Amino acid sequence: MTALSCPDSGRLRRLLEETLPANEEADLVSHLDNCPSCRGVLELLAGGGGTYTDQARRLNRSESTASDMEAVVARILEPAKQEFAAFFTPVPGSAGLGRLGHYVVQEMIGRGGMGVVFRAHDETLNRVVAVKLLSASLANNAQARQRFLREARAAAAVRDEHVISVYAVDEVNGTPYLVMEYIRGQSLEEKLARTGTVELHEVLRIGMQVARGLAAAHAQGLVHRDIKPANILLENGVERVKITDFGLARVADDASLTRSGTV
């Protein structure tokens, strides 16, 4: 699915209602990761204000240089910073975004189809963490909240060196967020965009570690359903791979799966 074949509002509504077949759901969420226009429509359908729709209309899709792309990304992320400003308590003298409980939120590091991820400092345990918040415009949508919390429960159930650890789940002003292990590194998607190719021995190493992480998830009865380069993190300094984003995970004996007969 590309920007030229964006889904209609009916499919987006079915995503919120969780009535799409598993393969269509995974494809649609992947599309949302890269399409701010569709995220805006999704937010409108969920009762939000369409912050990203107006922003997306201002983007020049022909921009292709590194500096231009950085400017485009910055313009996409800026509304999200404003969107979450109300959730953070200002920290005097800090260059960060503010405080969330005992976490000092330092910067936004990405956004996906339904949430935004920030780098933060855990003052209690003196460590860097990643904090993922459900988009504010989706917070009042029961299906979106259920999907977000399911990700937290699914990831927290898996204990493996190749799966991102979830430290905590909480709420702020009625919006759920989860606190995760922060990985200093890059995604496989980012690496491929920069290098174009990966050596065979590295392909085998990454594949084996991803398989181990998935095996650990399967041992807990979970099917990830959204393995892609963007959800495979490569840790700096060590040859270790981490699987992230369990937002589409399903319990193997989930009744919704047996109705369709698909995973």
Please give the chain's pLDDT, 263 residues, in tens.
544 578 877 787 777 766 778 778 777 877 877 776 777 677 656 544 433 333 444 444 444 455 655 565 556 555 655 667 778 888 777 767 888 989 999 888 887 667 889 999 999 999 999 999 887 778 788 888 887 887 788 788 889 999 999 999 888 877 889 999 999 999 999 999 998 888 999 999 999 999 999 999 999 888 887 889 989 999 988 889 999 887 665 655 544 433 444 44
At residue 77, the pLDDT reads 52
Please tell me the pTM assigned to this model: 0.65
CATH superfamily of 185-260: Transferase(Phosphotransferase) domain 1 (1.10.510.10)
Expressed in angstroms, the distance from the first to the final Cα of the chain is 20
In the chain, where are the structural domains located? Answer: 185-260
CB 69 within 8 A of CB 56: no
Q: How many angstroms separate the CA atoms of 122 and 170, rounded?
A: 14
Q: How many angstroms separate the CA atoms of 259 and 254, rounded?
A: 9
Q: How many angstroms separate the CA atoms of 31 and 47, rounded?
A: 20
At residue 242, the pLDDT reads 95
At residue 155, the pLDDT reads 80
At residue 51, the pLDDT reads 38
At residue 60, the pLDDT reads 43
- Written as six digits, the tokens of 171 are 């709420």
At residue 71, the pLDDT reads 63
Query: Within 10 Å of residue 174's Cβ, how many Cβ atoms?
Result: 10
Q: Which residues are catalytic?
A: 226
The C-alpha angle with vertex 18 and arms to 16 and 19, in degrees rounded to 5, equals 120
Tokens 């998935």 correspond to 214
When computed from its CA atoms, the radius of gyration of the chain, rounded to whole angstroms, is 18
